[in-house]
Structure 1
Amino acid sequence: MDDIRTLEARARREGTPLIDGDTATFVWKGSRPVFLQGDFQDWRGTPLPLERVGRGLWVRSLALPEDAYVEYALLDAKGRRLRDPFNERHSDNGFGDVNACFWMPKGEATALGQRVRGVPRGRVTRHQVETHQWAVGRKRAVALYAPPVPGPVPLLVVLDGDDYLRRVQLPTLVDNLIAQGRMRPVAMAFVSNGGPARAVEYTCSEATVGFLEQHVLSLARERLSLLDTRRTPGVHAVLGASLGGLMALYTAQRLPHVFGHVLSQSGAFSIDGNDMVVFDLARRTGQPPLHVWMDCGRFEALVDGNQRLPPLLQATGHRVTYEAYSGGHNYPAWQSHLSRGLEEIFPPAG
């Protein structure tokens, strides 16, 4: 490790954490100790104390994958968040706060979420759908994306639609992939979640399946040029992350004649040792085959369920790709990895 003066000078010059190969060193300057918590613990367990190496200087080094994306927070002795003065990179954590973040040297954020001049844009329109008691509230927001090409095209239903619109910039990402010839054009329906009722709606809810089938699909068929599932069964897809990833798979298992394709990011298939019903449904034989693409962060507790589910699906005739990435449970990691799933599920024609 560098000497004390060099550590502080590097922190001020380079920002923190200091990166040396596969080692990230967090640096804090202050009179009192601080603690570290982040993706590398899946935000669980006891925060890690920084160690004092000199007067008012504290450090903690961690070995991390060289391609990892990491979010973290510094905490005081009472668990209150502190701003890392040496790191100006931050990410919305989805809970009303921000996390400090960084990439290890062999990882980088995707450029696909950035608008590129000259790339044709799809059109996003916003709608309110009557729920008819299939979902919480009288109406639910749904945004529709029409690709910048004539149809008919497959539909991708996106759960937690507001987050995929705002935090993933999915319309821009898809525009860029289409323009680069890396995926076929698709339409998308971004479905807002139920807020406080999200967990109820996304834990394998028959009501949510009914709402998607009867009301979201009806809107999409009315406003978009879609392929006909009567002629091409299972042509559409459903995408979600975390509980949304669980609900994406469950929806396809219940409606395989409509949704023959699934993209699940860090799917919450097993929570605190309890397997969800998707495991039982995966064991059924004689079902229409699904094409499932799954990913999960290596730091996540959810990785266990994500590793155990693919063999069950494959054994009953489904096509499954599972990929692990070096990161945790957050939208920047999902955004950076999602293009791999879109390219597999929606390959370009020919």
Structure 2
Amino acid sequence: MDVKTLEARVLDEGSPVIDLDQATFVWRGSKPVSVRGDFQDWQGAPLPLEQLAPRLWARSLPLPSDSYVEYALVDARGRRVKDPLNHCLSDNGMGKFNHFFRMPENRPAAVARRGRGAHPRGRVTRHKLETSEFAVGRTREVFLYQPAAPGPYPLLLVLDGPDYLRRASLAVVLDNLIRQKRIRPIAMALVANGGPARTVEYTCSEATLGLMRDKVLALAREKLPLVDERRKPGVHAVLGASYGGLMALYLGLRAPQVFGHVLSQSGAFAIPEHGDFVVFDLARAAPSRRLKVWMDCGRFEWLTGCNRRMFPVLKEAGHRVRYQEYSGGHNYPAWRDDVVQGLEWLFPP
């Protein structure tokens, strides 16, 4: 488009200027900036905007029309620069905020918002769990969610639980899905990670298995009316993203009699420096109990490779598994919007 049209559109619509399959980032200033974001998985050099006129810079990128995208502008020294033409911000979980936008065919999950009216809500309570020798620190924060429907319930164990609760509005999502009868009533135990020890805890740790199976489940049984997994083996589920997605599958493969349902988002089943994690070996083995596994991953992520490899391994071993990719990156808004389909598949009403 010509410069006058671009200037008029950006003043009216903000940046980026979005067409069906193209986003044009616009910067008004005397010095150049570059853009980096989900579309390059935040890897490699930022993409410089080109000068079109005095104090006007732009760069167009082709993007799938159903994309959710987070990005940041950076100056010549690599320092983040606020985009004054885009006021949409998302907490990136690392102490900073990313700008974001949605392409024309992308819509946020409606169930992540409180509806109008006095609808019943589940109850969220906060607890301190003694970790004993299973984890760093003497205690670990756990949030328990009980739906506004009669039990007993299957339990959904959520790794990085406070992040899913705050940044993915997971309690709101469950309230709405249960009220709309799109899933059966389920309870949740949302467990905090170990902070600096998160990588150690979530990369196929037997100590973490003990913490979740023996300590967290005991707390949930004490406080919530749960279905007894000893009478209905495999009734409970586990959810996680990134290394949490890896650990979710590990927990299912190691304790299928407890966690027979797995929801793995952007599972980090392999990393370039070290190769495949042991979950590949566990997934190839003949299962003592078949799992029901939902996997998803953003098309912009390098993790699509190991997720695409894991999917047929689980299928060939006899597990019930679904895998889907969405046009997005490695962030909680994308996981929140896609987790709805996983919950509907794992817990039909």
TM-score for the superposition, normalised by structure 1: 0.98
Partner of 2:276: 275
Q: Deviations over 1:169-208 (max 9, x none)?
A: 1111001001111000001000000011111100001000
The alignment partner of 1:176 has SS state of: helix
Q: Partners of 1:272 and 1:122 in 2: how far apart?
A: 41
Partner of 1:31: 30
Q: Partners of 1:85 and 1:272 in 2: how far apart?
A: 37
Task: Specify the code of the residue in structure 2 equivalent to 1:347.
Answer: P
1:325 pairs with 2:326: yes
Q: Partners of 2:145 and 2:324 in 1: how far apart?
A: 27
Gaps of at least 5 residues in structure 2 are none
Partner of 1:264: 264
Q: Partners of 2:176 and 2:311 in 1: how far apart?
A: 30
Q: Partners of 2:345 and 2:192 in 1: how far apart?
A: 25
1:291 pairs with 2:292: yes
Task: Specify the code of the residue in structure 2 equivalent to 1:16.
Answer: S
Q: Partners of 2:67 and 2:250 in 1: how far apart?
A: 30
Q: Deviations over 1:122-147 (max 9, x none)?
A: 11111000000201100000010011
Shift of 1:212: 0.5
Shift of 1:44: 0.1
Gaps of at least 5 residues in structure 1 are none
Q: Deviations over 1:148-167 (max 9, x none)?
A: 11111100000000101101
* Aligned-residue identity in percent: 63
1:337 pairs with 2:330: no
RMSD: 0.8
Q: Deviations over 1:294-341 (max 9, x none)?
A: 100000000001111010111111010001000000000111111100
1:194 pairs with 2:194: yes
Partner of 1:148: 148
Task: Specify the code of the residue in structure 1 equivalent to 2:162.
Answer: D
The alignment partner of 1:207 has SS state of: helix
The alignment partner of 2:343 has SS state of: helix
Task: Specify the code of the residue in structure 2 equivalent to 1:334.
Answer: W
Q: Indicate how the Cα distance of structure 1 residues 96 and 286 shifts in structure 2: closer, same or farther if over 3 A, else same.
A: closer
Q: Deviations over 1:238-264 (max 9, x none)?
A: 000011000000011110000000001
What count of residue pairs does the alignment treat as equivalent?
347
Task: Specify the code of the residue in structure 2 equivalent to 1:36.
Answer: V
TM-score for the superposition, normalised by structure 2: 0.98
The alignment partner of 2:240 has SS state of: strand
1:313 pairs with 2:324: no
The alignment partner of 2:111 has SS state of: coil
Q: Partners of 1:204 and 1:7 in 2: how far apart?
A: 50
Q: Partners of 2:169 and 2:53 in 1: how far apart?
A: 44
Q: Partners of 1:286 and 1:296 in 2: how far apart?
A: 24
1:52 pairs with 2:59: no
Q: Partners of 1:278 and 1:12 in 2: how far apart?
A: 51
Runs of 4+ in structure 1 over 6 Å off = none
Q: Partners of 2:40 and 2:270 in 1: how far apart?
A: 18
Shift of 1:108: 1.2
Task: Specify the code of the residue in structure 2 equivalent to 1:199.
Answer: T
1:75 pairs with 2:74: yes
Q: Partners of 1:174 and 1:21 in 2: how far apart?
A: 32
Q: How does 1:1-350 map to 2 (within 5 A)?
A: 1=1, 3-116=2-115, 117-272=117-272, 274-348=275-349
